[in-house]
Structure 1
Amino acid sequence: MANDISKTGILLESGTNELELLEFVVGGQHFGINVAKIRELCNYETPTPIPNSHEYIEGIYMPKDMLITAINLAKALGIPKEDNPSTDMYIVTNFNRVYTAFHVDQVVGIHRLSWEDMVKPDTTMSSAANASAIGVVKINGKVILVLDFEKILSEINPESGLRVSEIDMLGERDRSDVKILLAEDSAMLLEMMKDCLSKAGYVNLIPTSNGLEAWKELNKIIDDGGKIGEDISCVITDIEMPQMDGHRLLKLIKDDRRFNKLPVIIFSSLVNEEMRIKGKSLGADAQLSKPEIGNLVKMIDSLIGK
């Protein structure tokens, strides 16, 4: 049995800071994933093993003539898996233009909530599962860790997060002092973005870890007398972030006359057809899938002039 999440009738208005969260269980612990990342839910089938593959990979799974890599999520999170084949499921995801099947013990259900309800994991949380979480939320008395699936895939293939090799292909570039604000909740990806953009000549970067921090920083710049094009020239934002997501940040910027002519680029693993429509309706100047760091640099060049 397969459940196509895209046809459940669940639609969210753009820029409301809401998300749909699928709750599931691995090793007795409750986790969550943004429904926007999910293609479908399928009953578990034993995959075909791949020789000499990464330890997280169970094998390949082939529903509907589509070849998909199956990931043992319990192993990736470093927790023991429960032995209950009757409830095992695949969560088939589609982000960063890659389809992946994550093997879980049980799917619980879908919850609607606000990104404001989600808090960033404390830095003292050091287990593998906690280290792979982008946020923590409490629903019906249960603490649910919202997992960073991009981080898990990047541990298998680093180029799935950012194709950093694309920066070297751009060749030697001049330095630019234009100020660019980055909103990215993954500390690992934020550092990689800073490094890549700096190598591409954009060295005047303002890093923030979510949309709320970014919005406060933008207001501070303007309140201190800053000008668009001089003290801030561009915003690059992820979509999926605790406290405030990228679509809400985009809406706030585009609805505020103080930020007229400030380009906003959506740079996210969630850029698909539906998300492109939402981003366009909110006024995004460009939308790029997260691995495409080389195209991001070219888009910055185009929007603000190298």
Structure 2
Amino acid sequence: MEQTTLTTKISSNQIELIDFRINEEIDGQIYEGIYGINVAKVQEIIQMRETFELPASPDYIIGVFDLRGIVIPLIDLAAWLNIKHREFKIPIEKKRIIIAEFNNLKIGFLVHEAKLIRRISWDNVQAAHFSSNSHNLERGKITGTTRIEDGKTLLILDLEGIVDDLDFYGNTHDKKELGQITHKFSGNVLIVDDSTVARSLLKKNLKKMGFVVLEAHDGSMAIQMLNDFYGQYNDDIVSHIRFIISDIEMPKMDGFHFAEYVKNDKRFQAIPLIFNSSICDKFSKQKSRDIGVDAYLVKFDAQVFYEEIVKILE
């Protein structure tokens, strides 16, 4: 098949993943690594094509290529993951480029083979934990794991790490911290995100605005915290939690499922809820509006984040 165009439907507390493979050589043996990317971030899958080199770029950037008039950088995922695979050849007819869009950026990812689409419950996704000898997979490049058939493990990639590594779209790091602010706030804010890096970034900016920051690693933990707060403050909870800011992709309970719970519970529905996600497709934004989410922000522009909070709270 020359090209595959993807559409997706997000079910409650489920994720759809593109299952793709990257082969690895360990002690002279070839092993097939099983990886996944959220379908919501994938636009299409195409065959390998001609690329043009980018001078002075890291070795995991193969170059750029033209896709219907758009110049797209091509990332060798095996090289980015520090996987040894150059000692053997992958048949060119199996290689695929996954065209992904996230954080308002479009990037191509070279993989050794694209297999299928899997629908998996977030209940079955675990946060990634690796030992020190986990075949050079660096902390932060894998965001979660899940079991598939025959007891095999599928690793879910944290694609945003590539953007942080490269910054080839220019000044993305400069946008992550607030400059001067004109409004100063107070009160508690609940952050719901499984990424330590994302929570740290949000916390730094929220504290600069004057907020006290509470943290939850996923939707189920956040619900427990909200219930505890209600037991302490009852109907005055809205005065003690100014707003909630949540990621969408999280193990155990995703952001959509969490938001539906909050917006359908009379105790919590008056608390403003903001999505802060790398997913930038129209379906996810419409889904959030249907649930009643107060704002949908694409990670991460500190100034846009600040202006949205000012608009919601004042």
TM-score (norm: length of structure 1): 0.91
Count of matched residue positions in the alignment of Structure 1 and Structure 2:
298
Please list, as runs of the form range in 1=range in 2, the aligned pairs for 1:28-47 lying within 5 A after superposition: 28-47=32-51
Q: 2:254 and 2:50 mapped to 1: Cα distance?
A: 36
SS at match of 2:44: strand
SS at match of 2:239: coil
Give 2:117's match in structure 1, choosing from 110, 116, 125. Answer: 110
Please list, as runs of the form range in 1=range in 2, the aligned pairs for 1:66-105 lying within 5 A after superposition: 66-81=70-85, 83-84=89-90, 85-105=92-112
SS at match of 2:250: coil
Structure of higher CA gyration radius: 2
Cα offsets for 1:25-84 (capped at 9, x unmatched): 112211111111100000112411111123321100112222111001011101023521
Contact 1:271 1:287 in 2 (8 A): no
Question: How much does 1:225 deviate?
Answer: 2.6
Question: How much does 1:158 deviate?
Answer: 8.7
RMSD: 2.1
The residue aligned with 1:51 is 55
Question: How much does 1:159 deviate?
Answer: 7.9
**What one-letter code is carried by the residue in structure 2 that aligns with 1:231?**
H
Q: 1:279 and 1:212 mapped to 2: Cα distance?
A: 18
Q: Indicate whether 1:121 and 2:124 are aligned.
A: no
Q: 2:168 and 2:306 mapped to 1: Cα distance?
A: 19
Q: 1:292 and 1:86 mapped to 2: Cα distance?
A: 40
Question: How much does 1:241 deviate?
Answer: 1.0
Contact 2:48 2:96 in 1 (8 A): yes
Q: Indicate whether 1:255 and 2:264 are aligned.
A: yes
Q: 2:147 and 2:176 mapped to 1: Cα distance?
A: 40
Q: Indicate whether 1:213 and 2:214 are aligned.
A: no
> Is 49-58 or 218-227 further displaced after alignment?
218-227
Contact 1:163 1:291 in 2 (8 A): no
Q: 1:123 and 1:233 mapped to 2: Cα distance?
A: 36
Q: For structure 2, list consecutive stretches of 5 or more residues without a partner in the other structure.
A: 24-31
Please list, as runs of the form range in 1=range in 2, the aligned pairs for 1:1-306 lying within 5 A after superposition: 1-6=2-7, 10-13=8-11, 16-27=12-23, 28-81=32-85, 83-84=89-90, 85-122=92-129, 124=131, 127-128=136-137, 131-141=140-150, 142-157=152-167, 163-165=173-175, 167-169=177-179, 171-173=180-182, 175-199=184-208, 201-226=209-234, 227-305=236-314
Contact 2:40 2:281 in 1 (8 A): no
> Is 259-268 or 209-218 further displaced after alignment?
209-218
Q: 1:276 and 1:194 mapped to 2: Cα distance?
A: 24
Task: Return closer, same or farther for 1:240/1:166 CA change in 2, 3 Å cut-off.
Answer: closer
Question: How much does 1:175 deviate?
Answer: 4.3
> Is 81-90 or 21-30 further displaced after alignment?
81-90
Q: 2:21 and 2:171 mapped to 1: Cα distance?
A: 25
Q: For structure 1, list consecutive stretches of 5 or more residues without a partner in the other structure.
A: none
Q: 1:12 and 1:168 mapped to 2: Cα distance?
A: 33
TM-score (norm: length of structure 2): 0.88
- Structure that is richer in strand per residue: 2
> Is 188-197 or 133-142 further displaced after alignment?
188-197
Q: 2:130 and 2:309 mapped to 1: Cα distance?
A: 32
Q: 2:111 and 2:272 mapped to 1: Cα distance?
A: 40
